[in-house]
Structure 1
């Protein structure tokens, strides 16, 4: 009795179907994980905002933490912290950002690099401006701050929010594009240390309350989680499209 000929077309269709199902599952899982992370970060940032608005909860740590920072100050540490925190102002951040993004673009030649960074930074700046205007919180007293003094509203910390978003997006782009594990690890650790140090410097110098900084960290990470999730979903959707 002759054996039936293998159905090459059927096998190919089955393989394509399995790939389709696997890709669909990956898209669903990516969306779910991204939504959960984004939601948790937004809930956490909202709780910090509520504590500030009602002057209770974690906001009760603002004064004690600032007092502790004041006790740690020395002339040298004030000079170093002031020089570092100046890197978080608009002009240095733009220069640093353009330099690093240009290096990434010239290496990988993907327009998405520029698009993601522009959207991330634009959102961060917008959130900072709107947040300060809506909350209208006063900064710590000038007697507790290290010059040069700042006059804008305190909540949220723009230095911290923008540093978190820009450094975080740069780290994500490296993780996405870099071939070597050590490059990815250095990008993530470097971004985390930059955002952490920038936020702490703002409290150390008396330019912000602790909750201004904590909110900026959480909200900045939430914004990053949203952008990264959307980008990953688009990548998986493109991978799902059949070749022409």
Structure 2
């Protein structure tokens, strides 16, 4: 599973980085945002606005803290360290890349919510993918692993789509956010496993 996440993440990152330099992908990005804005309905506006709040750094840190406290109750300290490094690593990487690429966001007339920082990569998508990957890997041996993995994937997918729907990100920003966490969490897991066996 971690190797598959790594391969998918690398492939997605290549495509998303190419979008910064290929006019055709830029046109696709803008057309996607325009199409989403033209097909908005009130109920989806409310749902995606809620996703914007739930997917931001404050809530992600709050949720991660509760998760780690739950694991501490069962004395699963190695999982707590893995989750903490995974989340803080994802946050650090995505903001470092935002400052590096400084890609402008879609035109403000498409925005349904307030946004901060540059467009590439999407931090919300990165956080969602980080949580999803952590859930999938931490609960690999759980009896309901498939259900957990499905829920995690749906959360990641919905968060990414919502960022394009509310007009603050291009699809390739979302793809890059997902790919960063897929690569980072997969590498972190593989390194953790290697050292735990040493």
Partner in structure 2 of residue 38 of structure 1: 6
RMSD: 2.1
For residues 125-172 of structure 1, the C-alpha deviation after alignment (integer angstroms, 9 at most, x for no partner) is 1111111111001111111111x3214211100001011112321221
Provide the TM-score with structure 1 as the length reference: 0.74
* Alpha-carbon distance, 1:234 to partner: 3.2
2:115 is aligned with 1:150:
yes
Contiguous gaps of at least 5 residues in structure 2 = none
Partner in structure 2 of residue 207 of structure 1: 168
Alignment of 1:1-244 (within 5 A): 34=3, 38=6, 41-52=9-20, 54-107=21-74, 109-146=75-112, 148-176=113-141, 178=142, 180=143, 183-235=144-196, 237=197
User: Which whole-Å CA distance do the structure 2 matches of 1:229 and 1:69 have between them?
Assistant: 38
For residues 21-71 of structure 1, the C-alpha deviation after alignment (integer angstroms, 9 at most, x for no partner) is xxxxxxxxx9xx83x86356324403321321x143533310121122112
Larger Rg: 1
Provide the TM-score with structure 2 as the length reference: 0.90
Aligned length: 198
More RCO (CA 8 Å, sep 6+) = 2
Large movers: runs of 4+ above 6 Å:
none
Query: Is residue 71–residue 77 contact of structure 2 (8 Å, CA) maintained in 1?
Result: no
User: Which whole-Å CA distance do the structure 2 matches of 1:159 and 1:93 have between them?
Assistant: 9
Contiguous gaps of at least 5 residues in structure 1 = 1-29, 239-244
